[in-house]
């Protein structure tokens, strides 16, 4: 039996459920946890590594309370565990045969959830669990940097495991939706299914594997042009490489290149370079 590799984002459903559960009020009040599940990434309490939540999360009394709460009903209180267990609903096999990658944003609340979830998963019989941190997106300008980290730390793992013969599955239920959507699309390139559970569903569904691939012919010229320099003069792109204004605009529209008008240059997007590095060998 091929080993299975499950990838899941980490959200804050554990904290949300802990806060609204009436039996945990004393702990919630003691640590001022009411807003923890919905803090902005730039909230001072949530900034890694010195935010209030990062500091207070080292206290064993808090960690033990969260572990006991989550252990009492893992699937109900954690979207991450519910998604992982849903994979086994569809593809039954021993938990000891599963490798799990949890990726959390570099924020105090997400990291705390990831650590507690990892501990509870181990208690459930999962043996191989890694947690990786990806850049917390504080602005639209940082989104591309976050995508690059996602490609480097998460998608790279997916591609490598697939090449080693693992059965790769993405849990698309928890986490930041833009990241999860991007990850699900990236997984389609290696024909890895995604499992999704909407809160109103009783059963998991497998999102269909659409047969997509990178169109080498479409980007081969881009690869050749930018193989040495990330940015080239727009005039050179037209005169030396035969790119028309229409082609440049189509590349820009697809997100393959960006135009820097103040410098009169066009540049290949960093995340495209990562995609090429990961998928084209």
| CATH code assigned at 55 | 3.40.50.10770
CA distance 118 to 213: 33
CA distance 15 to 113: 7
Q: Helices 60-72 and 13-20, interaxial angle, to 10°? A: 90
CA distance 33 to 112: 12
- 203 and 246 co-located in one domain: no
Q: First-to-last CA distance in the chain? A: 27
Q: Helices 108-123 and 13-20, interaxial angle, to 10°? A: 90
| CATH code assigned at 258 | 1.10.10
- 165 and 240 co-located in one domain: no
- Could you list the pLDDT tens digit for every one of the 281 residues in the chain? 679 999 998 999 999 999 999 899 999 999 999 999 999 989 999 999 999 999 999 999 999 999 999 999 999 999 999 999 999 998 999 999 999 999 999 999 999 999 999 999 999 999 999 999 988 766 666 777 877 888 888 888 998 998 999 999 988 877 666 677 777 777 777 778 888 876 666 677 777 776 666 666 667 778 788 888 889 999 988 888 888 889 889 888 888 888 887 778 999 888 787 877 777 65
Kindly provide the residue ranges of all beta strands, DSSP E only, lying in 163-210, ordered along the sequence: 167-171, 194-196, 205-207
- 221 and 198 co-located in one domain: no
Nearest in space to 89 (alpha carbons), one of 183, 181, 173: 173
CA atoms in the 13 A half-sphere facing the CB of 272: 21
- 138 and 264 co-located in one domain: no
> Domain limits at 145?
4-207
Provide the number of structural domains found in the chain.
2
- 87 and 199 co-located in one domain: yes
- 179 and 253 co-located in one domain: no
CA distance 40 to 240: 47
**Pick from 165, 186, 207: which residue ends a domain?**
207
**Pick from 182, 207, 232: which residue ends a domain?**
207
- 57 and 172 co-located in one domain: yes
Q: Please enumerate in sequence order all residues whose Cβ is within 8 A of that of 121, keeping only pairs 6 or more positions apart, or say none.
A: 81, 84, 100, 129
- 101 and 225 co-located in one domain: no
DSSP 207-272: EP-------HHHHHHHHHHTSS-SEEEHHHHHHTT---HHHHHHHHHTTSEEEEGGGTEEEE-HHH
- 55 and 149 co-located in one domain: yes
In which order are the strands placed within the sheet that holds 231-233? 231-233, 265-268, 257-260
CA distance 169 to 158: 9
Nearest in space to 185 (alpha carbons), one of 215, 144, 155: 155
- 168 and 192 co-located in one domain: yes
Q: What pLDDT score does 34 carry?
A: 95
- 117 and 241 co-located in one domain: no
Number of helical (H) and strand (E) elements in the chain, helices listed first = 14, 9
DSSP state of 151: I
- 229 and 247 co-located in one domain: yes
Is residue 75 within 8 A of residue 173, CB to CB? The reply is: no
Give me the residue label for tokens 């995340």.
271
**Sign of the CA dihedral 30, 35, 38, 40?**
negative
**Pick from 160, 178, 207: which residue ends a domain?**
207
Is residue 225 within 8 A of residue 237, CB to CB? The reply is: yes
Q: What pLDDT score does 273 carry?
A: 79
CA distance 144 to 271: 7
Q: What pLDDT score does 178 carry?
A: 65
């Amino acid at each position: 039996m091929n080993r299975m590799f499950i990838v899941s984002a980490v959200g804050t459903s554990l904290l949300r459920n802990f806060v609204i559960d009436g039996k945990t009020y004393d702990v919630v009040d003691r640590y001022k946890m009411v807003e923890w599940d919905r803090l902005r990434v730039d909230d001072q309490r949530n900034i890694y590594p010195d935010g209030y939540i990062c500091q207070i999360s080292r206290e064993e009394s808090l960690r033990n309370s969260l572990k006991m709460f989550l252990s009492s009903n893992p699937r109900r209180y954690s979207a991450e565990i519910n998604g992982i267990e849903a994979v086994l609903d569809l593809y039954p096999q021993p938990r000891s045969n599963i490798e799990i990658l949890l990726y959390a944003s570099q924020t105090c609340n997400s990291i705390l959830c990831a650590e507690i979830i990892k501990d509870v998963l181990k208690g459930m019989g999962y043996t191989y669990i890694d947690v990786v941190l990806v850049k917390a997106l504080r602005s639209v300008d940082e989104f591309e940097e976050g995508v690059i980290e996602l490609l480097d730390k998460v998608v790279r793992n997916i591609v490598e495991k697939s090449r080693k013969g693992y059965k790769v599955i993405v849990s698309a239920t928890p986490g930041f939706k833009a990241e999860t959507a991007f990850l699900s699309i990236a997984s389609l390139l290696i024909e890895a299914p995604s499992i999704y559970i909407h809160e109103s569903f009783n059963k998991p569904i497998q999102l269909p594997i659409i047969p997509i691939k990178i169109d080498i012919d479409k980007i081969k010229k881009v690869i050749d042009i930018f193989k040495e320099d990330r940015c080239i003069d727009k005039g050179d792109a037209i005169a030396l490489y035969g790119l028309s204004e229409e082609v440049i605009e189509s590349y820009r529209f697809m997100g393959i290149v960006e135009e820097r008008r103040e410098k009169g240059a066009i540049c290949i997007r960093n995340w495209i370079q990562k995609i090429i590095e990961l998928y084209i060998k």
